[in-house]
Structure 1
Amino acid sequence: MPIISTEDQHLTVLNLFTTDAPEKQDKLLAEMRKIVDAATYEGWISSTVHAGQDKPGTANFIQWRSGEDLQARYAGEEFKHRTLPVFGEITTSIRLLQNEIAFTQRHPSAGEAIEISPTRDDLTVIEVFGVAEGDQGDLVDALGPSQDWLLDVPGYRSHSVLRGLAARGLEGSFVVVYSQWADKDSYDAFRAVPRSEQSPARQKSQARVEALATSSDWNTYRVVHTRSAGQ
C-alpha cells in the first residue's frame, strides 16, 4: 500500500474533483477506477482514490517518479481528448495539484508509517490553503512542526503537509494538509472546540495559520481503491 514519507522524494499529485450530486460522485469514482486499474504510465508509482464524505467529490493521491513523467502523461492524447473531457462533464471544479511532502507527523498508536489504503478505517481530511508566495515556507512550518499539540487530540492519527509546486485549476501558491482521523465524530469534535476552550498551543498555531493563509477549503474522504505499479 502507498506510504507518505518525506524520504521517498516522489512527486505527489493530488487531483481534487468536486461535483454537485452523489450520483455524479459515483460516476467519477467509476471513471477513476478504470484509469487507475489500466495505468501503465512511465514513472507512475501509485494512485489511491478517495470518495468525498461531507461534500460530493473525489480525490486521487498519486505518486510519480518525477515531474517529467507527469508532464508526459498530461501531453498524451488519452489525457487531453478523453480523460479531461469525461471529467469535465461531471464535475463542478478540477484541481490538479503537484506537491512535495514537506512534513509528516503521526500518533504513536498509528504505526511506524503513514499508510493510505481502503483496508484501513481512517477518516481522511484534505485541506487546501492559499498563501502568498513569499509566505509559503512559513505556512508549511505553521501547519507542520508547530502542530505537535495535535498528538493530544482524541482521534488524531496523522497529518502530512504538502508544499505546492504547480497546479492546474488553482491560481497562486498553496499548501495542502492531508490528515487521518479515527472517525468523523472525533474530527467534528475537534473542529467544534470554541477558540476560548482551545489549548494555548492550539490558539497560537491557529492564529499564525490564519495570519498567513489567504484562503482555505476542505472535505472529508474515505479511501476506496488503490493500485501500485506492478500490481
Structure 2
Amino acid sequence: MPRISPADDYLTVLNLFTTDTPEKQDTLLQEMGKIVDSAAYEGWISSTVHAGQESPGTANFIQWRSGEDLEKRYAGEEFRHRTLPVFQEITTSIRLLQSRIVHTHRHPSQGNTTEIAPKRDDYTVIEIFKVAEGDQDELVAELGEGRNWLVDVPGYRSHSVFKGLRARFLDGPFAVVYSQWAGKDEYDAHRTQPEPEKPEARLKSEARIDALKTESDWNGYRVVHTRAAGE
C-alpha cells in the first residue's frame, strides 16, 4: 500500500485530468488502469488512481525515485505518441504536476503513517494553489503547520502538503494539498461552515492563505486502483 512520508524523499507526480461527462471519466479510468497495471519503468515506485466525485475527472498519484527517471518516461515513444494523445482526445484539461512532500499530519486515530489505497474508503480532496514568485514557501508552511487545527474537525483523517517543483500545462509556482476525510458529508460540512462558527485559528489561517494564493481549485475523489513496483 503506497504511503505519503517526507522520509521516503520520492518525487511525487500528480497527473490531473478533467473531462465533461461521466462516460469519458470511465474511459480515462480504464486507460489509466492499463498503464498502471503494465508499469515497469525504471525508477517508478507506485501509482494510485482516483475517480472524480464533484466533477468528472481523474487523478493519478505517482511516486518516482527521481526526476531523471520521470523524464526518461516522458521522453519515451509510448508516452509522446500514444499515452498523451489518447488523454488529450478525451479530456478538457491536463495538468502534470511534479512536487515534493513537505508536511503530513493525521488525526490520532489514523496511526503513524498516511496510507492511500481503495480499501481505506477515504473521501479524498486534492487542492491546487497557484502562488506568486517569492511566496511559495510561506504558502506551503501555512497550508501545512498552519492547518493543524484540522485535527478538531469532525471527519478529518489526514492532510499532506506538497511544494510544486515543475509542471506541464500549468504555469508558475504552485502547491498541492492532498487530504483524506471520513466521507463527503463531513468534508462538505467543514467546507461550508459559517464564518461566525469557525475557530479563531481557522479564520487566521484562511485569511493568510487567501492573501498569498493567486488562484485555487479542488475536486473530491475516491481511490479506485493502486499498484506498486514489484506487485
How far off its partner does 1:148 sit? 1.1
3-state SS of the aligned residue for 1:112?
coil
> Aligned partners of 1:133, 1:175: CA distance in 2, in Å?
12
Which residue is 1:2 aligned to?
2
Unaligned ranges ≥5, structure 2 = none
For 2:145, the equivalent position in structure 1 comes to: 145
What is the DSSP-based 3-state SS (H/G/I as helix, E as strand, rest coil) of the residue aligned with 1:42?
coil
Amino acid at match of 1:148: N
Q: Match of 2:173? A: 173
Q: Which residue of 2 aligns with 1:200?
A: 200
d(CA) in 1 for partners of 2:85 and 2:146?
A: 41
Cα offset, 1:110, TM superposition: 1.1
CA distance in structure 2 between the partners assigned to 1:203 and 1:183 by the alignment: 23
Q: 1:34, CA displacement in angstroms? A: 0.2
Cα deviations by residue, 1:51-105 (Å, 9 ceiling, x for unpaired) = 0000000000000000000000000000000000000000000000000001000
- Structure 1 segments, 4+ long, off by >6 Å, are none
Matched, 1:60 2:60: yes
- Residue 41 of structure 1, CA deviation: 0.3
Count of aligned pairs between the two proteins: 231
Shift of 1:196: 2.0
Give the letter aligned to residue 31 of structure 1: E
Mapped partners of 2:142, 2:209: distance in 1: 6
For residues 19-39 of structure 1, the C-alpha deviation after alignment (integer angstroms, 9 at most, x for no partner) is 000000000000000000000
Counterpart amino acid of residue 83 in structure 2: T
- The answer for the alignment partner of 2:159 in structure 1 is 159
User: SS where residue 30 of structure 2 aligns?
Assistant: helix
Q: Aligned Cα RMSD in Å?
A: 0.5
1:208 and 1:120 mapped to 2: Cα distance? 32
User: In structure 2, how many angstroms separate the alpha carbons of the residues matched to 1:111 and 1:16?
Assistant: 28
Give the distance between the partners of 1:77 and 1:121, measured in 2 at CA.
36
TM-score norm. by structure 2 comes to 0.99
Name the SS of the counterpart of 1:171 in structure 2.
coil
Q: Percent identity?
A: 71
Q: Structure 1: how far apart are the matches of 2:25 and 2:145? A: 35
SS of aligned partner of 2:134: helix
Matched, 1:43 2:43: yes
The normalised TM-score by structure 1 is 0.99
- Distance in 2 between the 1:118 and 1:200 partners? 35
User: What secondary structure sits across from 1:119 in the alignment?
Assistant: helix
Residue identity opposite 1:226 in structure 2:
T
Distance 2:18 2:146 in 1: 30
Residue 133 of structure 1 deviates from its aligned partner by: 2.0
Say whether residues 1:124 and 2:110 are aligned partners. Answer: no
2:135 aligns with: 135
Query: Any stretches of 5+ residues in structure 1 without a counterpart?
Result: none
- 1:114 is matched with 114
Alignment partners' CA distance in 1, 2:145 and 2:27: 38
Q: What does residue 32 of structure 1 align with?
A: 32
Distance 1:45 1:124 in 2: 21
Matched residue SS, 2:206: helix
